[in-house]
Amino acid sequence: MRALFAPLLLAAPVATAALPPASGELRGAAAAAGIEIGVAAEPAQLAPGPEAALLASEFTSLTPENAMKWSALAPAPGVWSFAGADALVDFADGNGQRVRGHTLVWGRANGVPGWLGDELAAASDPAERLRALTAELIDTVVGRYAGRVPTWDVVNEPLAVDSGELDPDSPFTQLLGVGYIAEAFARARAADPTATLFLNETLVEAQPAKFAGLLALVDALLADGVPLDGVGLQGHFLQGRADGAVLRAQLEALAARGLFVEITELDMPVLWFFGEPDVLAAQAEAYADVAAACLAVPACRGITVWGLSDADTWLDTLFPLSAFAPNRPLLFDETLAPKPAYGAVRDVLLAPAPPAGMLSFAALATLALIRRAASAPPPR
């Protein structure tokens, strides 16, 4: 399949705003490889123009960068505001794209609404209040998009930034303990039994002890029968360049538990390549390593980059990386021109290194079929 499509895709013109959806080389390459290539987007980027054209033509999957977070959906207790999230889901539907629902339960940054602290402080039983609000959130949001958002990050970043312990600063950990994770997954499964349910974690790629904590958590959840279908590794390489071998081993360890895996929030600041003769070429190699790691693991369903272009990366406002802005961590530059990393990912998707000992076309075609079959939710 890959071999058949490759010449056609290589001959395809570079995507421009004038081209119709689904004509971009990256999107075509991902389809041929049997994986999703996704992008985080904001509702403001969907207005007709060059950004919307690229979002539609180059990606098979969209993740709302902020628009589906509790803080964005609930301006006040019991008040819901779905305009931005609806716009993203409608855009994806119109362009034949998957949506990764991001994210339901996240006790950090803009994961919880500003009013939550007051609400809990005023409650006679803050733990019960948080439990009820979380249940309402999951029922309302997953229920609204049932059948339209096939994959959810149900719990985001449950672990501490720099250890395998539960995040001690999260209100969910503080008030509910580890049980909040199982409750959230059970609630999400009930709200949309067809959705694939992910736990999404950050900064494990360069922290073996944190990754070990993630595996321990996952094993405990599975042993308890929690309806967990997949684990996302965010892939914010904030601590150094991606190491393809480490990433592949982590993906394999999770896949060995019968889970889907995805790289859910990939970006890579050029800081790690300062000193190289060609910074963007070095960055492209690191991107290629990430793509190859995913392709080597049949359970890896996709790679999502955290933003469309270097013009709007969150890293330029994230301390301490903000001090190094522009971080230029994405596939398109600030003029929306494709960077070397774009070509590198496309080329890996078109011509993945064959798995050891499986050199025939038939073997490659079989791998693509396995990956495609694996995109249906597992029978749990």
Q: Which is nearer to ligand XIL, 321 or 368 (CB)?
A: 321
With H, G, I as helix, E, B as strand and everything else as coil, classify residue 69.
Answer: coil
φ/ψ region of 333 (left if φ > 0, alpha if ψ in -120 to 50, else beta) reads beta
User: Whole-angstrom Cα distance, residue 218 to residue 40?
Assistant: 25
Q: Which is nearer to ligand XIL, 101 or 244 (CB)?
A: 101
Instruction: Return the number of other C-beta atoms located less than 10 Å from residue 14's C-beta.
Output: 12
**CA within 13 Å, CB half, 69:** 17
Q: How far is the CB of 153 from ligand XIL (least distance, A)?
A: 7
Q: How many residues bind ligand XIL (CB under 6 A)?
A: 10
φ/ψ region of 375 (left if φ > 0, alpha if ψ in -120 to 50, else beta) reads alpha
Q: Which is nearer to ligand XIL, 75 or 225 (CB)?
A: 75
Task: Confirm whether 165 is a catalytic residue.
Answer: no
Choosing from 16, 110, 239, 322, the residue that interacts with ligand XIL (CB under 6 A) is 110
Q: Which is nearer to ligand XIL, 23 or 103 (CB)?
A: 103
Q: How far is the CB of 2 from ligand XIL (least distance, A)?
A: 31
Considering only residues 218 to 237 of the shown chain, the ones binding ligand XIL according to CB under 6 A are: 234
Task: Confirm whether 65 is a catalytic residue.
Answer: no
Is residue 156 a contact residue for ligand XIL (CB under 6 A)?
A: yes
Considering only residues 252 to 291 of the shown chain, the ones binding ligand XIL according to CB under 6 A are: 265
Give the residue ranges of DSSP H helices in 319-375.
340-350, 361-373
With H, G, I as helix, E, B as strand and everything else as coil, classify residue 81.
Answer: coil
Considering only residues 319 to 358 of the shown chain, the ones binding ligand XIL according to CB under 6 A are: none
Site string for ligand XIL, 193-212 (x = CB under 6 A): ---------x----------
Q: Do you know the residue count of the chain?
A: 380
Q: How far is the CB of 322 from ligand XIL (least distance, A)?
A: 12
User: Whole-angstrom Cα distance, residue 357 to residue 367?
Assistant: 13
What element of type H or E holds 314? none
Torsion of CA 227, 232, 238, 240, to 10 degrees: 120
Which one of the listed residues 36, 51, 157, 201 is annotated catalytic? 157
Q: Which is nearer to ligand XIL, 108 or 380 (CB)?
A: 108
Which one of the listed residues 58, 201, 205, 265 is annotated catalytic? 265
Q: What angle, 0 to 180 degrees and rounded to 10, lies between the N-to-C axes of helices 340-350 and 2-11?
A: 150
Q: Which is nearer to ligand XIL, 66 or 207 (CB)?
A: 66
With H, G, I as helix, E, B as strand and everything else as coil, classify residue 278.
Answer: coil
Q: Of 8-16, 103-111, 273-281, 284-292, which segment contacts ligand XIL by CB under 6 A?
A: 103-111
Q: What distance lies between CA 293 and its chain's CA centroid?
A: 15
Q: How far is the CB of 234 from ligand XIL (least distance, A)?
A: 6
Indicate if the alpha-carbon torsion angle 23, 25, 29, 32 is positive or negative: positive
User: Whole-angstrom Cα distance, residue 140 to residue 81?
Assistant: 11
Q: How far is the CB of 210 from ligand XIL (least distance, A)?
A: 14
Q: Which is nearer to ligand XIL, 58 or 265 (CB)?
A: 265
Q: Which is nearer to ligand XIL, 181 or 295 (CB)?
A: 181
Choosing from 145, 211, 237, 314, the residue that interacts with ligand XIL (CB under 6 A) is 314
Give the residue ranges of DSSP H helices in 199-338.
208-223, 244-255, 279-295
Choosing from 66, 196, 283, 304, the residue that interacts with ligand XIL (CB under 6 A) is 66
Q: Where are the beta strands (DSSP E) in the chain?
A: 36-41, 61-64, 98-105, 151-156, 196-201, 230-233, 260-266, 300-305
Q: Of 84-92, 102-110, 168-176, 204-212, which segment contacts ligand XIL by CB under 6 A?
A: 102-110
Report which residue type is found at 68: M
Q: How far is the CB of 101 from ligand XIL (least distance, A)?
A: 12
Q: What distance lies between CA 273 and its chain's CA centroid?
A: 24
Q: How far is the CB of 304 from ligand XIL (least distance, A)?
A: 11
Positions in the binding site for ligand XIL (CB under 6 A)? 65-66, 103, 109-110, 156, 202, 234, 265, 314
Catalytic residues, which ones? 157, 265
